[in-house]
Amino acid sequence: MQTVVNKVSYLKGETEVAPDKSISHRTVILSALAEGRSRVKNFLEAEDTWSSCKCLQALGLTIQKQDKELIIDSPGIDALQEPARVLDCGNSGTTMRMLAGLLAGRPFMTVLSGDDSLNQRPMQRVITPLSMMGANFMARRGNYPPLAVQGGQLQGIEYHMPVASAQVKSALLLAGLQAEGVTAVLEEHASRDHTERMLMAMGAKLEVKPGQVRVIPGAKLSPQDWEVPGDVSSAAFWLVAASIVPNSEVLLKRVGINPTRTGILEVLKQMGARITVLDAQTIAGEPVADLLVQSAPLQAVEIEGEIIPRLIDELPVIAVAMTAAQGVSVVRDAAELRVKETDRIAAICSQLSRMGAAIEATPDGFIVDGSKSHIQGGTVDSFGDHRIAMSLAVAGLIADQSTYINNAEAVNISYPGFWDTIKILSR
């Protein structure tokens, strides 16, 4: 599908962004641990999260939509059943990696597969530590899905993460709940901590310290009533758009501002963005607030080190902000972008270049000269990556001519209402 985006004079109004994708996945996967009924308010209804639902249904959960809630009935982790067919994770790396951890301790064999994009994403990062714990895996070329998991009796380990990853950390915590002895996960840079917060709410015994999480198995977990906040990764598109489109003022309602996810706010404020946090509160263990963003002149910035895991998903749209900033911006230490749904470094640099940006890819990031960038529009491609599609759309809002985005349907992976929100805020 091709979608056309035209330059707008302003963005004004208020909107609720898409529900948090990371938390929505976890409400379903973690609910499998506890026998009984869990309820989820504001569940993200998107392709990725439905992939998690379908996989858990194949393992024996009953999941249904009832009014505005998702109702999840689980037989409990010890009663999960061996699936009769390959579990299709679609485009969702979160689904595959977290299920690898969940299934590592189950006494049966499961095969996890996905679409063409997911089946090109490396899985060694979960295979290695889960194998150390006692699970058995088979994978294509030892690293790529389809991924066969033969679960069994696990032993707790201490594992130093070579790269910060909430998906891998979550997989190890899920396996650790089923292991003999303590499992400790150590990170040099903190990744998002939704799994830890949610497991503790369910009654799991976790010890969380800076750079380390320890899980002590044996605690009885309870089903929960979850409420999913707005996704700060989805809010990022409007934070950037309203900053770079003149005469804009947008209020984003009920956005999750978990400190492990708010690198986007810190970077945009460093660039000079006018963002005000309003009505901060805590809902279901997660900090939530309204975000008011107003257009402002932006300045170049350099991003590297510990902040990268806290804004890894937002880097494509940050690249768009950099094209509108005065001076030369640099992103380093973000090689992880090359093994996402696409090689996001190559994708965003090649497509923004086609639109007129002065952007250069590096092995672990990119360099953007905002002073020499002039977004003109043209025909670009998302390569089936939802975040690339939405980032290019934001660039199109300031382009001199129309922007034609191929494979624009990719937004349905995480934000089905994205195109409608553009229309609402620009009318």
Establish whether 73 is a catalytic residue.
Answer: no
Of the candidates 417, 11, 376, the one whose C-alpha atom is nearest the C-alpha of residue 231 is 417
Of the candidates 94, 118, 88, 102, the one whose C-alpha atom is nearest the C-alpha of residue 23 is 94
Of the candidates 284, 225, 229, 286, the one whose C-alpha atom is nearest the C-alpha of residue 34 is 225
Q: Give the angle 320-262-370 at the CA atoms, nearest 5°.
A: 20
Termini Cα distance of the chain: 23
Determine if residue 169 is left, alpha or beta; phi over 0 gives left, psi from -120 to 50 gives alpha, anything else beta.
alpha
Q: How many CA atoms lie within 13 A of 236 on its CB side?
A: 32
At 116, list the tokens: 């063409």
Of the candidates 142, 190, 182, 191, the one whose C-alpha atom is nearest the C-alpha of residue 159 is 182
Of the candidates 339, 328, 340, 278, the one whose C-alpha atom is nearest the C-alpha of residue 303 is 328
The single residue of 20, 193, 290, 313 carrying the catalytic annotation is 313
Rg of the chain (C-alpha set): 21
Give the pairing type, strands 302-303 and 325-326: unpaired
Indicate the residue type of 286: E
| Composition of the chain by helix, strand, coil, percent to 5 | 35, 30, 35
Residue reference for tokens 């409007």? 238
The beta strand positions in 196-264, using DSSP E, are: 205-209, 212-216, 225-227, 249-256
Question: Looking at the annotation, which residues are catalytic?
Answer: 313
